[in-house]
Amino acid sequence: MIKIAVLTSGGDSAGMNAAVRSVVRTGISKSCEVYVVREGYEGLVRGNEAHPEKHKADTLMIPEIHSNTRPQWLKTSDRPLSTNFISTYFGAESLKHGEADSELRGQHIIRVGWDDVGPFLSEGGTLIGTQRSQSFRQLEGRRKAAHNLIIHGINALVVCGGDGSLTGADKLRAEWPEHVNALLASNEITAEQAQTYHHLIIVGLVGSIDNDMAMTDVTIGAPTALHRICESIDNISSTASSHSRAFVVEVMGRNCGWLALMAGMSSGADYVFIPEKPPAYDDWEHELCEALRRHREMGKRKSIVIVAEGAIDKNLQPIKADYIASILTDRLKLDTRVTTLGHTQRGGKPCAYDRILATLQGIEAVEAVLELSRNPEGESPLIGLRENQIIRVPLMKAVETTQALAKAIANKDFKHAMSLRDTVYQTSFDAFAATTRLDTRIKLPDSQQMRIGIIHIGAPAGGMNAATRTAVRYCLTRGHTPLAIFNSWTGLMDGHVEELGWLRVDQWTTRGGSELGTNRVLPSADNIDEIVARIKMFKLDGLLLIGGFEVLKSLQFLDSVKSQYTELDIPMVHLPATISNNVPLTEWSLGSDTSINVLVEACDAIRQSASASRSRVFVVETQGGECGYIAMLGALAVRYLLEAGSVIAS
């Protein structure tokens, strides 16, 4: 019998509860006993003050459901029970009600059932608690933890936390034979226990809002923290614009600038400071002021600067929000305010991405436990994500690489530090710089400059405007002329085409829908002559088509008639944007993530009504055409209950 314990450690992050739920339910479905450890490593060290009487029955027989002699603390769900399924255990129900401190005082290692973790998916923070344990840092504390695991029969530990928490787990595993021998010598465990539990399986899940773990693209909690930051900056932007103010926003992240950089891109900030890529100049204050001055001269009413809490200059001197504000006030005479977002970044319900990521990684963690149970000498894995695939990497290699990144920053080897981040990180920084700073030094020669038409086709999707803004800004930076085609192909035929400027698209990052206008009219034999005439009239050298399956159909038709019209012999690029996420050969389409988040928020709201009414059922229909992407991932993120098929007796 595999007995798995799961704990959360270090700073809390949204999605930890979803990870715990996933490990528990997957473990139960694989015939494992699953425990949660309250208060992280501190709970593992403390154990249970009075060990509860072993469960009186490993199985619950159906006749016992109506028995008056059944223990009062053993609850059952309304679903039919199999002969070996127990839905909830004594005391565990208090976890989901937030009553654990009073109901489970002195009890830290709790066996849980299927229903005990039911509500965990949509809850923020960690319902089983977390502490930064000083006692676990000591050898004696880890020995107590080993003793508590052995007396509960636990032979596998799944840890959700940051690099420090995962390092602690690996250290416990490395010392495990020493702890077993010491406990046997002191008669705290029996020889049989020492033989049975001579190995400890460790599997790591990364729970961190900083997204600072190497060898994985995204950590549990980082997407939700980014949501919180973007929501806050959106709110700040309106008041900043109203008063023509500058705001300096400090975000979390320690030695990682992921939150600051991605928030800067997502909110249309004017400048970001991150620790891995400090300003290249000693007089970075002058560079900052010049960048904001140029933006103001273009007509911007507000200025947003985002600074990571670990931001430094190239000489490793800290760059603080208050100092930046004083520079903007003194040199540019801007009315400047400082906002430190603090722990609002950690709190709140997890976004859809964190719920889905934590669930999939929790499943993989249990699979890793089962595989290691057959090969206990195998290396402890870290469950991560790379290029949208759940992966396993050596736990300590990931931790050591993360620590190497901090050393690279300390050694001023910033190029190496950037290379140790995920592959998108450097690309994101370059994209932010190219679309934010008015830098004429990288313009192409006149002979290479193009007139590029940008068109939205099909149904609107979140992100269409942000993509257009980026395309327009990059075109201008490189010397191209961006031309907006309003109202899709219909607008092109009507001649609704005009140049877009740098300031015109400034606010488009946060706007939903389609600022250019879109419809489902497609090129055809009836209108191709008019489309070609307009392409020639506006001297278009290329087209950027943003949309879903309708773009594919458009390009397919245009390609079929290209030989008849020389005007169509131009580069045409499709940027997938559809909530259905049904464009072939790409894993993500713009708008699909926003759509799932809207679905999750709606389902969270109607679940409250369903829970209050008890007998009420909601049937939710999603969009998506013939693609089940929204329905499937939405179901995974909102605790969908699989329906039981009907059987009609003959």
Query: What is the domain-level CATH number for residue 295?
Result: 3.40.50.460
213 with 267, same domain: the answer is no
Give the whole-angstrom CA distance, residue 158 versus residue 139. 20
Residue closest to 2 by CA, chosen among 303, 264, 358, 372 = 372
Both structure tokens of 446: 């006149």
Q: Is residue 419 part of a domain?
A: no
- Length of the chain equals 650
Is 133 in contact with 36 (CB distance < 8 Å)? no
Which phi and psi angles does 552 have, rounded to 5°? -60, -45
CA dihedral defined by 352, 354, 359, 363, rounded to 10 degrees? 150
Q: Is residue 328 part of a domain?
A: yes
Number of H helices, E strands in the chain: 21, 17
Q: Active-site positions?
A: 210
Identity of residue 204: G
Both structure tokens of 92: 């565990």
40 with 168, same domain: the answer is yes
Report pLDDT for 206: 98
Q: Is residue 126 part of a domain?
A: yes
Give the whole-angstrom CA distance, residue 429 versus residue 277. 9
214 with 230, same domain: the answer is no
3-class SS at 346?
coil
135 with 280, same domain: the answer is no
112 with 152, same domain: the answer is yes
The contacts of residue 84 (CB under 8 Å, 6+ apart) are 58, 59
Is 256 in contact with 317 (CB distance < 8 Å)? no
Give the whole-angstrom CA distance, residue 617 versus residue 306. 45
Give the whole-angstrom CA distance, residue 211 versus residue 561. 48
Residue ranges of the chain with per-residue pLDDT less than 70:
50-85, 90-93, 96-100, 102, 641-650
**Could you say which of 523, 549, 576 is where a domain stops?**
576
Is 497 in contact with 452 (CB distance < 8 Å)? no
109 with 124, same domain: the answer is yes
pTM: 0.91
For residue 261, give its domain range.
222-345
Q: What is the DSSP string of 376-407?
A: TTSPPEEEEEETTEEEEEEHHHHHHHHHHHHH
Is 477 in contact with 607 (CB distance < 8 Å)? no
- The Cβ-side half-sphere exposure at 263, using a 13 Å CA radius, reads 39
Residue closest to 212 by CA, chosen among 384, 347, 358, 40 = 384
Q: Is residue 622 part of a domain?
A: yes
CA dihedral defined by 345, 351, 353, 356, rounded to 10 degrees? 120
Report pLDDT for 57: 37
Enumerate the β-bridge partners of residue 577: 590
The contacts of residue 180 (CB under 8 Å, 6+ apart) are 146, 150, 189, 194, 197, 198
Is 258 in contact with 247 (CB distance < 8 Å)? no
277 with 381, same domain: the answer is no
H or E stretch including 205?
strand 201-208
Identity of residue 275: P
Q: Is residue 165 part of a domain?
A: yes
Instruction: Count how many domains the chain has.
Output: 4
List, for residues 257-279, the tens digit of each pLDDT value: 999 999 999 999 999 999 999 99
142 with 18, same domain: the answer is yes
Enumerate the β-bridge partners of residue 158: 6, 203
Enumerate the β-bridge partners of residue 208: 221
The contacts of residue 132 (CB under 8 Å, 6+ apart) are 10, 40
Give the whole-angstrom CA distance, residue 24 versus residue 36. 8
Q: Is residue 88 part of a domain?
A: no
Q: Is residue 437 part of a domain?
A: no
Q: Is residue 68 part of a domain?
A: no
CATH of the domain at 187: 3.40.50.450
What angle (nearest 5°) sits at the alpha carbon of residue 103, between those of residues 71 and 126? 115
Is 43 in contact with 7 (CB distance < 8 Å)? yes
Identity of residue 399: V
Residue corresponding to tokens 């320690």: 254
125 with 17, same domain: the answer is yes
31 with 12, same domain: the answer is yes
450 with 513, same domain: the answer is yes
What angle (nearest 5°) sits at the alpha carbon of residue 89, between those of residues 86 and 91? 170
27 with 155, same domain: the answer is yes
Cα dist from 9 to 3, 213, 219, 628, whole Å: 20, 15, 14, 36
Residue corresponding to tokens 């495990």: 176
Query: β-strands 246-251, 572-576: how paired?
Result: unpaired
Cα dist from 510 to 233, 324, 540, 553, whole Å: 10, 25, 28, 29
